[in-house]
Amino acid sequence: MRFDVAIVGAGAAGLHCAAIAGQLGCSVVLLDHAEQVAEKIRISGGGRCNFTNIDVAASNFDSENRAFCRSALARYTPRDFIDLVERHGIAWHEKHQGQLFCDGASGQIIAMLLAECDAGGVQRWQPCRVEAVRVGAAGFELDTPRGPVESARLVVATGGLSIPKIGATDWGYVLARRLGHRVVEPRPALVPFVCDGPRWQPFATLAGVALPVRVEGGHGTRRAEFSDDLLFTHRGMSGPAALQASTYWRPGEAIVVDLAPGQDLARMLVEAKTSRRRLGTVLAELLPRRLAEAWLAPPSGAGRAPGEAEALTTTSSGPPLGDRLVADLRDRDLGALAAGVHRWTPVPTGTEGYRKAEVTAGGVDTRDLDSRGCESRIVPGLHFIGEVVDVTGWLGGYNFQWAWASAAACARAMAADCSTGRGGL
């Protein structure tokens, strides 16, 4: 069978691209090896699908070329997708930091995308593996268990390696490399940190403790800062703040955490000297109690940032640090303690990996793609869209918006060349 467009991968980007291309007049076949379509949509947002964010800009994405996504995002905005959602009668609401969720189950978004594909006459072959791809004189030849497929254009929308239990594979990366494209080394992103070792010991019992923080990850032009909640776990750190920082983190690096953002901790500790209270009592009013106890517990300084005053890191005499009266401590020592809280620098030993990662960072190098339609500069007619590309959004609906926008840019670019009409020949 011959089609204008063959799309491999029936996730968010693949379904949206197929629907738009089909409705613009292309004959489209959509292939996926999995039994179910769009499982990542189904499980996202706690089952309610955080389908976009009202505030989207290129600065919300990490990439070797952070400007690459700007064109697609400008031409297909969150408002465009919201309009589609509303045309299908799907109720939605806004949550924290511009995140948009379905009022009901995420299956509504999947049903909407499938309906849009049906409206475009898209043929869906699923489950159906693509066993081989050849570049021919008239386009692409695909070998599948259902028979060969020929297409003028081929779209790779196979996603990344995150959450392998729902079918993630490296198919897109393998094909890209085989056809001469560079691939930025994939890595887990939006993923919890694993922490251990002596410096982590004071915090190893804090599972379940959560608090708002400001966190920094990365360095130089690949550095980002986020204000959100941090959650201590049995294995390290999670919560939105940790997940955001993980995209920018590299093995061996520290992340920088302000455990008391927006507070002048040094001033508050010095002012507490007018009372006859213990340091542990005062700090427990400014931080979660269990965290305050861990921070002050012996062996002193084990988990705190370097450079604190010697008077606060010695237990050679006197009561434990938490039992000492604030009034008996020097202002500069309290300032050093506050500085450590405001600039805690834990060094994660790793992450929970692809099984817990919400997305995969890295991917097909954007230097080998045209930003207007995500078309290969190396193999004409070959497109890469969505998560398989080296564009990784922040937590909060940004990655879905990249899927919608890159899909729309690709579909519109292809539609200009479609000539056979709908349906296979």
User: Mapping DSSP to helix (H, G, I), strand (E, B) and coil, where does residue 341 land?
Assistant: helix
Q: What is the pLDDT of residues 359-375, one digit of tens each?
A: 999 999 999 999 999 99
- The mean per-residue pLDDT over the stretch 300-328 comes to 62
List Cα–Cα distances, 346 to 241, 255, 261, 305, 369, in angstroms: 14, 6, 17, 8, 37
Q: Are strands 382-384 and 2-8 parallel, antiparallel or unpaired?
A: unpaired
Least confident of 19-33, 52-66, 310-324: 310-324
- The mean per-residue pLDDT over the stretch 212-237 comes to 96
Contact in structure between 363 and 390 (CB atoms under 8 Å): yes
DSSP, res 273 = G
- For 318, the token pair is 């006197």
Least confident of 12-21, 89-98, 247-256, 312-321: 312-321
- The mean per-residue pLDDT over the stretch 126-149 comes to 96
Contact in structure between 27 and 121 (CB atoms under 8 Å): yes
Contact in structure between 139 and 152 (CB atoms under 8 Å): yes
- Tokens 């937590």, residue? 395
Q: What is the band of 418 on the pLDDT scale with cuts at 50, 70, 90?
A: confident
Residue 214: beta bridge partners? 227, 258
385 φ, ψ (degrees, to nearest 5) = -135, 160
Percent of the chain with pLDDT over 70: 94
Residue 325 has pLDDT above 90, yes or no: yes
Apex CA 211: angle with CA 207 and CA 213, to 5°?
120
Residue 315 has pLDDT above 50, yes or no: no
Using alpha carbons, select from 279, 296, 286 the residue that is nearest to residue 258. 286
The neighbour count for residue 192, using CB atoms within 10 Å, is 22
Mean pLDDT, rounded, of the chain: 93
261 φ, ψ (degrees, to nearest 5) = -65, 140
Contact in structure between 155 and 26 (CB atoms under 8 Å): no
List Cα–Cα distances, 328 to 98, 277, 300, 332, in angstroms: 47, 10, 18, 12
pLDDT of residue 312: 55
The neighbour count for residue 318, using CB atoms within 10 Å, is 11
Q: Are strands 382-384 and 149-156 parallel, antiparallel or unpaired?
A: parallel
Apex CA 381: angle with CA 378 and CA 386, to 5°?
85
Residue 308 has pLDDT above 70, yes or no: no
pLDDT of residue 221: 86
- For 293, the token pair is 């106890």
Q: What is the pLDDT of residues 232-285, one digit of tens each?
A: 999 999 999 999 999 999 999 999 999 999 999 999 999 999 999 999 999 999
Contacts of 220 (CB under 8 A, 6+ apart): none
- The mean per-residue pLDDT over the stretch 283-291 comes to 97
Model pTM? 0.93
Residue 305 has pLDDT above 80, yes or no: no
The neighbour count for residue 199, using CB atoms within 10 Å, is 15
pLDDT of residue 363: 98
Q: What is the band of 419 on the pLDDT scale with cuts at 50, 70, 90?
A: low
List Cα–Cα distances, 17 to 34, 129, 383, in angstroms: 18, 19, 11
Apex CA 267: angle with CA 263 and CA 272, to 5°?
110
More confident residue, 76 or 425: 76
Percent of the chain with pLDDT over 90: 89
pLDDT of residue 113: 98
User: Cis bond leading into 251, ω under 30°?
Assistant: no
Cα(283)–Cα(160) distance, integer angstroms: 43
Q: What is the pLDDT of residues 68-95, one digit of tens each?
A: 999 999 999 999 999 999 999 999 999 9
